[in-house]
Amino acid sequence: MTSATGIAGAVRSGAASAVDIVEAHLARVRDANPRLRALAVVFADRARAEAARIDEIVARGDDPGPLAGVPFSVKENIDLTWSATTQGWRGAVDAVPEADATIVRRLRRAGAIPIGRGNMPDFGMRFDTDNDLFGRTFNPFDPARTAGGSSGGDAVAVATGMSAFGLGNDFGGSIRIPAAANGLFGLRPSVGRVPRAAVRDIPVALTLQQFSVNGVLGTSVDDVETVFEAIAGPDADDPVSLDLPREPSWAAPRRVAVVRDPLGWGVDPEVAASVDSTASRLQAAGWRIDHVEPPRLEDAAVLWRRLACTDMLLTLGPGVLPVPLGASATRFLRDSTAAARPYETAAEYAAAWAERAVIAAEWRRFQVEHPVVLGPVWTSRVPPIDFDLGGQDAATAAWRDLRLTVAVNFLGLPAVAVPAGLDSGGVPIGVQLIGPMHGDRLALAAARDATGPAGEVLSGD
């Protein structure tokens, strides 16, 4: 497995050709994708043409960009004019966008080359990756266990060398969950740091505006940070995007709050051990470790669930879409919304958003003293496929396992999933490092210290 930064350096220096790099990744796609179904669409000819263009730029002595020749995957809900933006849903098979998403445009300008589309569940609703349009994406470490969702296709493509990095998004852990399941680094940026979809004539649900962000899956902290630098920054088409300084104005102490078992609801011993070992590496790198839980974690997780399910019912519920959701997405929506108790009145919905500001203020005060929070992505080991289906109890169990993860979305904070070894079954365990609002680079710095200079990950195939 070759890193994105390594590829770009070799192509920029002339030590490797972009054409050869793309051919090597396409060979990997031919070998692995039929079994794993990570990429829903493969852009073989277009990628070759882009690679030839990059090589011509290098040959002229011009600058091809900081990500020259690096093949990457684009999730099925991020606009790329080379194919339909299906969102994993049968009703959008002809939805070819008129323009690339801003982040795709920025990456292509930086010399990176789209090689395929990452599979996802319908509208990214599930914590697993399966749909009626492209089928299931399989975990390369163990096909009986989930690849994670909703950016599961991109995670598997990166973990197996089909792409050097993946573009995904994270509404309820959709980058960090598949990163953890596949032994990768995954950055969920702060709200506003990275542009999302262009907002034009169609209203966007409030939870999508506040909980969901575009981010990166990669094999090293350096790769993730390099891509982040290329895609971050304000965008006139996204009113939530912000023009921000590189870091917040306050001086952050090197102090980490460690949460081994969030809320005391239970944690698998192997997951707890991975949190502890990550904390030890941070301590050895000079961080102060305090075992303390952030404030109002349960309220954050509960409100995320109720608000998210309310908006999902309003925008994707029965009778709303012209083409129904796929079978698994329909079951997930039914069971999750029934268990979550969506809000029935405007007053309840408004009160929940008002309470969010109070909780966010408490977290902000907490993170002045403890800027980084370390805890599990899942409190269980990577579960079997369809773990989030099977009725209201299964939906609730999935949410409970991911309570710290979804609280991050509720608050709009940055977080980095970090690989923390393999469990007793040989499947990755991932932890996360949560930064303060707009402290994305602080979270990345902690992730680098937690894994060492190389930040290497294990290949899944």
pLDDT, one tens digit per residue, over 179-235 is: 999 999 999 999 999 999 887 767 889 999 999 999 999 999 999 999 999 999 999
Q: Which residues contact 349 (CB under 8 A, 6 or more apart)?
A: 307, 310, 343
Domains and CATH numbers, the chain: 4-451 (3.90.1300.10)
pTM score over 0.85: yes
- Which are the catalytic amino acids? 75, 150, 174
Q: What share of the chain is helix, strand, coil (3-state, %, to 5)?
A: 45, 15, 45
Is residue 102 predicted with pLDDT exceeding 50?
yes
Give the position of tokens 């469990």.
423
The pLDDT assigned to 203 comes to 82
Residue pLDDT, tens place only, 52-87: 999 999 999 999 999 999 999 999 999 999 999 999
Work out the pLDDT band at 461, boundaries 50, 70, 90: low
Work out the pLDDT band at 4, boundaries 50, 70, 90: very high
Is residue 113 predicted with pLDDT exceeding 70?
yes
**Do residues 282 and 256 make contact, with C-beta atoms less than 8 angstroms apart?**
yes
Token pair recorded at residue 162: 């089909």
Give the position of tokens 């998403």.
101
Residue pLDDT, tens place only, 416-451: 999 999 999 999 999 999 999 999 999 999 999 999
Please report which residue ranges of 241-378 form alpha helices under DSSP H: 269-284, 297-316, 327-340, 346-369
Q: How far apart are CA 422 and CA 424, in angstroms?
A: 7
Read off the DSSP letter of residue 345.
S
Give the position of tokens 């268990």.
339
CA nearest to 118, candidates 134, 142, 139, 98? 134
Is residue 160 predicted with pLDDT exceeding 50?
yes
Q: How far apart are CA 42 and CA 286, in angstroms?
A: 44
Read off the DSSP letter of residue 187.
E
Exposed, middle or buried: residue 14 (CB in 10 Å: 0-12, 13-18, 19+)? exposed
Residue pLDDT, tens place only, 140-152: 999 999 999 999 9
Q: How far apart are CA 253 and CA 371, in angstroms?
A: 7
